[in-house]
Amino acid sequence: MQPTALVLRAAGTNCERETAWTLRQAGATADILHVNELLREPARLRDYHLLAIPGGFSYGDDLGSGVVFANQLRSRLKPEIEKFIEDGKLMLGICNGFQVLLKAGLLTGRDVFDDPPRATLSWNMSGRYEDRWVDLRIVSEKTPFVSGRKVVSYPVAHAEGQFIAPDALLDELEQDQQVVFQYVDADGRPTQQFPANPNGSSRAIAGICSKSGQVLGLMPHPERNIRHFHHPEWKRMPKRQWGDGFELFQNAVRRAGQLVG
């Protein structure tokens, strides 16, 4: 049996179709569900092994990026999400999805939910939305979403991607191997320099996982580097079957497959 993935959308989510398509290519079944349907019947979450919250502008980010959606997870789906994590299942948040998971407290705590969340994603140092490709180094293998400490290229497209947390928490995240992706320069070193670090994130953090490794959030978009024509230099490169981003989904689906009874 195939593992099942739920791509959860809300008003303003806009990357659900390519995220679901990629999960299917990686071997999962993938359903796209409006959060209203899950709020009506939270137990439906139990049908899935992997929950993905894709990019977009949930509820317009009108109260701050991801805030309204995060509030729904915290205040209306908490028991089901706790059970989901206890069952060893996986959660992935990309871009706005990362903002949602972080602001729901699903990435920084010792328990499933950190209350109140101790880290945030704030305005880019440049003060505006930008779309550009970045190089990332995988610096921890704590999470099953990654394999191998390599450098990969994904695009970022956001206005609020600057990772901010108190120093003590940053130290803790590093110590516990929760920092998974860092923005790196042309020599592959973590950098604070714009534009290689597109938003000024502390310690060049582009993505982190939870203590358990089951929850991963990142600002860059792996689902936008899947097909051979996605990379901006594809006309200069030998033809590849898959782009750098595909491995993350394959890894996730593989681990989710181990949960299938």
Partner 1 sequence: MLWKIRLVPKSGAKSPESLRVARTLSDAGVNAAGIVHHRLFLIEGELDRETALRIGGALLADPVLEIAEVYEGTQEEPHAGRLFHVMRRTGVMDPVEASLTRALRDIGVNPTGVKSADQYLFADKPSAQDLSRAAPALGNIVVDESHAGALKLDALPRGRKHEFKRIEVAVRMFDDAHLQQVNAEHRLALNIEEMRAIRKYFEDAGREPTDVELQTIAQTWSEHCKHKTLTGMVHYRERGPGNADELEADSLFGLGDLPLDGKIDNLLKATIKRATDELAKPWCLSVFVDNAGVIGFDEQDAICFKVETHNHPSAIEPYGGAGTGIGGVIRDIMGTGLGARPVMNTDVFCFGPPDLAADHVHRGAMHPRKIMRGVVSGVRDYGNRMGIPTTNGSVHFDARYTGNPLVYAGSVGIIPRDKIAKAARAGDHIIVVGGRTGRDGIGGATFSSVELTSKSEVVSSGAVQIGNAIQEQMVLETLLKARDLNLYHAVTDCGAGGLSSAVGEMGEQLGAHVELSHVPLKYEGLSCLEVWISEAQERMVVAVAPHKVADILQLFRDEDVEATDIGVFGNNGRLHLDWHGQRVCDLAMEFMHDGMPRIEREAVYEAPKRHVPHGDAKSGAGEILAAILASPNVCSKEWIVRQYDHEVQAGSAVKPFTGPGRDGPSDGCAVVPKPGGEDAIVVSNGLNTRYGDVDPYWMAQSNIDEALRNYVATGGDIDHCAILDNFSWGKCNKPDRMGAMVRACYGALHAARAYGTPFISGKDSLNNEFKTEAGVSIAIPHTLLISAIGKAVSIDALTTSDLKRPGNKLLLAGFTSREFAGSHHELVTGIAGDVPPRVDAALALKMFRAINAAQRAGFVASAHDCSEGGLAVALAEMCIGGRLGAKVRLRQEMAATDADIDDTTLLFSESNSRLILEIAPHHEAAVFELFAGLPLFELGEVVSGPRLQIEGLQGTVPIDADVLEMRDMWRQPIYAVFGETSPA
Active site residues per annotation: 95, 221, 223
Which string of x and - marks every residue 34-53 that binds partner 1 (by CB under 8 A)? Answer: x-xx----------------
Q: Any idea what DSSP says for residue 139?
A: -
C-beta of residue 54 within 8 angstroms of C-beta of residue 255? no
Smaller CB distance to partner 1: residue 3 or 117? 117
Is residue 164 a contact residue for partner 1 (CB under 8 A)?
A: yes
Q: State both tokens at 250.
A: 């394959």
Q: State both tokens at 119.
A: 């880290």
d(CA 127, CA 194): 12
The H or E element that residue 69 is part of is helix 67-76
End-to-end CA distance of the chain: 8
Q: State both tokens at 172.
A: 């803790």
Smaller CB distance to partner 1: residue 48 or 154? 154
Among 47, 82, 131, 171, binds partner 1 (CB under 8 A): 131
Smaller CB distance to partner 1: residue 15 or 179? 15
Sign of CA dihedral 185, 52, 212, 150: negative
The contact set with partner 1 (CB under 8 A) reads: 11-12, 14-15, 17-18, 21-22, 25, 34, 36-37, 55-57, 59-60, 62-64, 67-68, 71-72, 75-76, 103, 116-120, 122-123, 125, 127-133, 155, 157, 164-166, 194-195, 221, 223-224, 226-227, 229-230, 232-236, 239
